[in-house]
Amino acid sequence: MRGRQSFVMVRRPLPGGARTYGRGMEPSRFSPFSPRFWRSPLRGPWLTSVLGVVLLVGITVLFVTGLLSYAAYNPGLSPVNDKTPDKGVLGFYLFAWPTHPHWLYRLTQGVHVTLGITLIPVLLAKLWSVVPRLFTLPPARSLAHALERLSLLLLVGGGLFEFVTGVLNVQLDYVFPGSFYPLHFYGAWIFFAAFVAHAVLKTPAALRNLRRMREERAEPAEVAEGAEPTGLTAPDPDPATVSRRGALGLVGGGSLLLFATTAGQSSDALRWTALFAPHGRRDPGTGPGGFQINKTAAYAGIRPAETGEDAWRLVVRGRGGTVRLSRAELLDLPLHSAALPIACVEGWSTSDQWWRGVRLRDLAALVGHDGDPPDVLVESLQRHGAFRRAALRANQVADPRSLLALSVNGEDLTPDHGHPARIIVPAAPGVLNTKWVAELTFGDL
């Protein structure tokens, strides 16, 4: 492959348009496996290094916030919460999700989704910048090279898979019924393993490129000239139509635009700006219940007949026995208020709403769990769907702000927000805030 080397190293046309490679060795410029097929003068170590360093930081944050989100679901607590029962050692880091600060999940998941969407242009530009390398022939020169190619496949495939599953889940409302969690979770580990291997191999060179650029105040093109041959720089470039800095500006501008049309999903006041956020345009109505709704009562199949004062009874079970309470009886128990947000795995969240209801720990005490309340299994009136049941951990039950809420912002819960009663727990993902609650079982999960 002597000829191929020279394509990579020599990019300047010689006088008279002659090039240094021999005529007979020129691969076709119509084959993507030929370096001559890739003609953009923008490609080069500089562009790839800048994008790579941005992704190094960004994807690490995505991975950490993703693992936090997984932990926040309490998957280790009960099979009811666990969408990935075969996780094995991948659950090694699971911990009891705290209830402080009360906006914790709002922050971590808002960052996860908004950052993920913001990084899409950077990811695509990075792939574009290295695409000639993805086509290099032969596929494997040695075992080590074969392994490198395999890790690249997992890196590119895994990266695209994680971004696509994440965006689809957020945009299309559970296109993978029940299977999003395992897909996105196992995919994340495969992707991140390949990402770490890649970062260890490439970060030193990327940082070297950027440092040279700064120290020598060199132009991007000169950095490309001086850098080791990477197979990134077009041997036979077309004339430039935009500078490398200009191209970077376009990518950054795209990211900024996505950020500006996504970030508003974490604020009630700015939600109208969140054009790319899910439920951004679903009108939750006005008044006390006029904040973001995920699934409506109609969607969940809740019939008005089963939520009326005569029909509905809350069943509370514990080691001391079982009690059944009407809504009127619940309203006669000591009521407490808590200002807490709804924060969904999809990234959107509401500002704090004023919930009022019975403390979960008081309900535990009613059925024989005084002092030190245990875990609780919450079951909804809803008959189908992944979110009709959820388990809460003892620390969540014990928090005085954890309520079986009966009203919000000064009025009875609306049907869509969970009337006759719903769970609200500080710092927890929305999915644990079960609506249309029918039964609570303390202890014995």
Ligand X SMILES: Nc1nc2c(c(=O)[nH]1)N[C@H]1C(S)=C(S)[C@@H](COP(=O)(O)O)O[C@H]1N2
**Which parts of 88-147 interact with ligand X (CB under 6 A)?**
none
Which of 169, 262, 434, 441 is the binder for ligand X (CB under 6 A)?
434
Rounded to 5 degrees, φ, ψ at 173 are 60, 70
Q: How many CB atoms lie within 10 A of CB 329?
A: 12
Asked if 372 and 318 count as a contact pair (C-beta separation under 8 A), the reply is no
Q: Decide: is 387 part of the binding site for ligand X (CB under 6 A).
A: yes
Q: Which does 300 bind (CB under 5 to 8 A by kind): Mo ion, ligand X, none?
A: ligand X
For residues 194 and 432, which CB has a smaller minimum distance to Mo ion in the complex? 432
Burial 265-287 (b: 16+ CB within 10 A, else e): bbbbeebebbebbbbbeeebeee
d(C-alpha 107, C-alpha 254), whole Å: 23
Asked if 369 and 319 count as a contact pair (C-beta separation under 8 A), the reply is yes
Can you tell me which residue has the tokens 């500080």?
A: 426
Rounded to 5 degrees, φ, ψ at 407 are -145, 160
Q: Which does 255 bind (CB under 5 to 8 A by kind): ligand X, Mo ion, none?
A: none
For residues 234 and 344, which CB has a smaller minimum distance to Mo ion in the complex? 344
Q: Decide: is 187 part of the binding site for ligand X (CB under 6 A).
A: no
Burial 78-100 (b: 16+ CB within 10 A, else e): bebbbbbeebeeebeebeebbbe
CB of 299 to ligand X, least distance (A): 8
CB of 379 to Mo ion, least distance (A): 18
Which of 244, 393, 401, 417 is the binder for ligand X (CB under 6 A)?
417
Q: Which does 188 bind (CB under 5 to 8 A by kind): ligand X, Mo ion, none?
A: none
Stretch that binds ligand X, among 208-216, 231-239, 252-260, 384-392 (CB under 6 A): 384-392
Q: Which phi-psi region, left, alpha or beta, contains residue 125 (left: φ > 0; alpha: ψ -120 to 50)?
A: alpha
Q: Decide: is 435 part of the binding site for ligand X (CB under 6 A).
A: yes
CB of 411 to ligand X, least distance (A): 14
Which of 27, 280, 290, 385 is the binder for ligand X (CB under 6 A)?
385
CB of 294 to Mo ion, least distance (A): 5
Estimate the crossing angle of helix 45-72 against helix 104-118, to 10 degrees.
Answer: 150
Asked if 224 and 216 count as a contact pair (C-beta separation under 8 A), the reply is no
Binding site for Mo ion (CB under 5 A): 344, 430-431
For residues 165 and 294, which CB has a smaller minimum distance to ligand X in the complex? 294
Which of 380, 396, 402, 441 is the binder for ligand X (CB under 6 A)?
380
Residue with the CB atom nearest Mo ion in the bound state: 344
**Which parts of 338-367 interact with ligand X (CB under 6 A)?**
342, 344
Q: Strand locations in 245-300, DSSP E?
A: none
CB of 90 to ligand X, least distance (A): 23
**Which parts of 323-342 interact with ligand X (CB under 6 A)?**
342
Q: Decide: is 39 part of the binding site for ligand X (CB under 6 A).
A: no
**Which parts of 236-295 interact with ligand X (CB under 6 A)?**
292-295
Number of chain residues interacting with ligand X (CB under 6 A)? 19
User: Which stretch of DSSP H or E encloses residue 407?
Assistant: strand 403-408
Residue with the CB atom nearest ligand X in the bound state: 430
Q: Decide: is 170 part of the binding site for ligand X (CB under 6 A).
A: no
For residues 54 and 390, which CB has a smaller minimum distance to ligand X in the complex? 390
Q: Decide: is 77 part of the binding site for ligand X (CB under 6 A).
A: no
For residues 112 and 327, which CB has a smaller minimum distance to Mo ion in the complex? 112
CB of 130 to Mo ion, least distance (A): 36
Residues near ligand X (CB under 6 A): 292-295, 300, 342, 344, 380, 382, 385, 387-388, 417, 430-431, 433-436
